[in-house]
Structure 1
Amino acid sequence: MKHTLSVLVEDESGALSRIAGLFARRGFNIDSLAVGPAEAQGQSRLTMVVEGDDQTLQQMTKQLEKLLNVLQVLDLSCRPAVERELMLLKVSAPANKRSSILDLVQVFRAKVVDVADEALTLEVVGDPGKLVALEKLLKPYGIIEIARTGKVALERASGVNTELLKVSTSGGRVPA
């Protein structure tokens, strides 16, 4: 199972390398990692996606909490959370196909951030599933380049789990 960990750390030299080293020493791969300043000066928030069973992740969380500079570790996988990712995507867009690409851009609420004779560069923000869906639909046009930030996430203050809202009364998933 994939887990999203939110790790609050003191913003000091070597904090990121100690955390990455902890995972590397135990043979864990970090699927995505995003780091930036947190709400308090001198603190940073790391959001990482890692794979492992619940018991393994519980062990890793305990190890993280023992590290110097680590202030808080939350596994957001089982908590109501807001998750977003940014993707820049350069797609081949000759004049005869440009309008159909622009239609997809509108549906996904993406933005065109650069236009060239034969290509468009798009910016799309959303949950990782949205990004994968757009990428899949644009693949037949010819994807030239992709850059993704990795997931960032925060626990929902409201406590409302929007994943539960996607389930219809018949038990099936409602398209997001």
Structure 2
Amino acid sequence: MKHTLSVLVEDESGALSRIAGLFARRGFNIDSLAVGPAETPGQSRLTMVVEGDDHALQQMSKQLDKLVNVLQVLDLTRQPAVERELMLLKVSAPAHQRSSIFDLVQVFRAKVVDVADGALTLEVVGDPGKLVALESLLTPYGIIEIARTGKVALVRASGVNTELLKVSPSGSRIPA
């Protein structure tokens, strides 16, 4: 199972290296990693996605907590959270196919950020599922290049789990 961890650290050189080393020594691969300044000066927030069972991730969280620069570790996997990712995608776009690509761009609320004779570069922000869906729909046109940030996530202040609000095409609620 994939887990999303939010780690608050003191903003000091080597903190990221120590965290990545801890995961590597225990045989965990970090699938996604995003790091940036946190709300308090001198602190950074790391959001990482790692695969493992609940017990293994619980042990990793305890190990992370023991590192000197780590201030807080949260496993957001089962908590109501807002998750976003950014993707830049360059797709082949000959003149006769551009209108259908523009239609997809509108549906996914993506932006065209560069136009060339044979290609369009798109920017799309959303939950990781949205990015995968757009990539899948654009694959037949010919994807030239993709760059994705890691997932960033915060616990929802409202506590509302939007997964419980999703509705199936038949109108019934989809169980989480």
Question: In structure 2, what is the Cα distance between the partners aligned to 1:130 and 1:62?
Answer: 32
Structure 2 match to 1:166: 166
CA distance in 1, matches of 2:144, 2:128: 20
Question: 2:70 is aligned with what amino acid?
Answer: V
Alignment match, 2:113: 113
| 1:120 CA drift (Å) | 0.2
Shift of 1:172: 3.5
Question: Which one-letter code corresponds to 1:150 in the other structure?
Answer: G
> Which structure 2 residue ranges, 5 or more long, are not aligned?
none
Task: Give the letter aligned to residue 101 of structure 2.
Answer: I
SS across alignment from 1:77: coil
Q: Distance in 1 between matches of 2:62 and 2:165?
A: 32
Deviations 1:26-82 (A, max 9, x none): 000000000000000000000000001110000000000000110000000010000
- Equivalent positions of 1:134-149 (< 5 A) are 134-149=134-149
User: 1:123 is aligned with what amino acid?
Assistant: E
TM-score (ref. length: structure 2): 0.96
Find the counterpart in structure 2 of residue 56 from structure 1.
56
2:45 equivalent to 1:45: yes
Count of residue pairs the alignment pairs up: 173
- Unpaired segments ≥5 residues, structure 1: none
The root-mean-square deviation of aligned C-alpha atoms, in Å, is: 1.1
Identity value in percent: 88
Runs of 4+ in structure 1 off by over 4 angstroms are none
The 5-angstrom pairing of residues 1-176 of structure 1 reads: 1-167=1-167, 170-172=172-174
Deviation per residue, 1:71-115 (Å, 9 max, x gap): 000000010000000000000000000000000000000000000
SS at structure 2 position matched to 1:78: coil
Summarize the Cα distance change of 1:43–1:59 in structure 2 as closer, same or farther, 3 Å threshold. same
Letter in 2 for 1:64: L
